[in-house]
Amino acid sequence: MHPSDPHIVIIQQEGVSEAREVTMLDIVTNKVKRYRGYTHLLYHPECRYTRVFVRDNNTIQIWNFLNSKKLKLIEQLNLSKKVRKICFHPKDSNLLIVLLQEGEIIIWSYLDNKTQELDGHRRSIYSLEFHKKRSNIFASIE
């Protein structure tokens, strides 16, 4: 749940097929919206109406939810591998770090739609996070 957003978000997995559904409950209007085929949801740290969705077809989409009747796709990144984790850079919220299933790390600047792969890791990465106050990346390996 985003601190300034009146929605409760649940990501459900259905059986072994890994098909997922994002359910958003508006706690003010009590209306429920369902979005099928998504694996991750991430709130933008500065813009409460911007959300990042990862679809089950390995596509990352950034949406603006300012008007619930008219959603706007801001940017999209198509990947060839499954996304394991995404998170925003702590100092530059226009940068996303993407951890792929194979342990590859990609930095995506979605405003100019440029990507850069990070090198330097020798083993498969299981999870990663940015340091909250610095630009350091912490990764755990399998």
Could you give the domains of the chain?
7-141 (2.130.10.10)
The model's pTM: 0.71
Mind listing the pLDDT tens digit of every residue in the chain (142 residues)?
555 555 566 655 554 445 577 777 777 788 887 777 888 888 888 887 888 888 888 899 888 877 655 567 788 889 988 888 888 887 888 889 888 887 788 889 988 889 988 776 666 776 676 666 666 665 655 6
3-class DSSP state of 120? coil
- Give the list of residues 6+ apart from residue 103 with CB closer than 8 angstroms, or none: 121, 123, 124, 125, 126, 141, 142
- Give the list of residues 6+ apart from residue 34 with CB closer than 8 angstroms, or none: 21, 22, 23, 24
- Give the pLDDT of residue 108: 92
3-class DSSP state of 22? strand
- Give the pLDDT of residue 16: 44
130 pairs with which residues across the strands? Answer: 137
- Give the pLDDT of residue 12: 57
- Give the pLDDT of residue 17: 46
39 burial level (CB within 10 Å; 0-12, 13-18, 19+) = buried
Query: What DSSP line would sit under 39-66, residue for residue?
Result: EEEEE-SS-TTEEEEEETTSEEEEEEEE
3-class DSSP state of 76? strand
- Give the pLDDT of residue 115: 92
- Give the pLDDT of residue 136: 64
